[in-house]
Structure 1
């Protein structure tokens, strides 16, 4: 049987690290994305702190999936850990730009990730 593989996005936010650790504890090979991983030192530091978890340099959904597939040999699971700061204002004072940004981060980015991953999922 082939080892299960996973991609966890925004690993340093919300439930990302807990999800990555839980998957790894179950024997899943895990590739992780975080905005800070554009820096090689940040990737190396993460991998030193979290043995067994791989840090990806890629940041766009298609590039994340491609790098994960390249490094893991395939993809079985995707954890789209979309996180965005809560809008904390009365509805009448909420800026539509903030709502659009939240929808982009929480909905559009999630759909883009799934679309990118679908061809690779085993």
Structure 2
């Protein structure tokens, strides 16, 4: 477990950064990916090294068709292989369908769904090899409650919902295709706090109203989601595959 080689996309802040911290143990090698926030990714890498892990910062836009394969290749070149990939990169888009252009919809599809597919396709041979050689090979996708919660009193994210639903369906397909060498699962965060200074899709007043709809009466923390990702990547989740684990305080029941 401690010597595993890990790639985490969207890891310069929030859930991705918390996941990197949760998996940083002596002997681990973690590739921290960012799209634009290089400074944030470098700061996370410093924390990982302080915890005894090796850390590598990778940068690129997953909407670019060539980026996912390049990230995998750079991580494999640096670490000699991969056992764990966490596909976390993405964003929330509240654009209503009536206002949505083809380009707007494609932006979510390219970065989230196509980005995940290309990342999985590139990482698959490395993960399968690791699994056949006795390693704990894991692919974990970070989805979102927006693919499950559709109500008149809750903000809707049509493009994001479609992209994340596709990610979950693809994860289930891969769980069958890659068994028994690799387990493939998704974590489904609910309303989760963002790091200060990062993009927030809702206004403060909207966040306050949301609390009443969450049974546990609080917003999630990135560490809540990171703990679930770390579990699915752990030896304890060796008999879990093709599942979507909701970490939402009960907002989706």
**Superposition TM-score tier, normalisation by shorter sequence:** 0.7 to 0.9
Structure 1 residues 100 and 36: CA distance shift in structure 2, 3 A: closer
Matches within 5 A, 1:5-44: 5-25=5-25, 28-36=28-36
Unpaired segments ≥5 residues, structure 1 = none
Aligned length: 119
Note the C-alpha offset of 1:95: 2.3
Structure with the higher fraction of residues in helix conformation: 1
Which residue of 2 is the match for residue 80 of structure 1? 87
TM-score normalised to the size of structure 2?
Answer: 0.41
Which residue of 2 is the match for residue 66 of structure 1? 73
Deviates more, 1:108-117 or 1:60-69: 60-69
Note the C-alpha offset of 1:82: 2.2
SS in 2 for 1:55: strand
Matches within 5 A, 1:47-58: 47-51=45-49, 52-57=53-58
Larger radius of gyration: 2
Note the C-alpha offset of 1:27: 5.7
Which residue of 2 is the match for residue 105 of structure 1? 111
Structure 1 residues 53 and 12: CA distance shift in structure 2, 3 A: farther
Unpaired segments ≥5 residues, structure 2 = 61-66, 131-253
TM-score normalised to the size of structure 1?
Answer: 0.78
RCO greater where, 1 or 2, for CA within 8 Å and sep 6 or more? 1
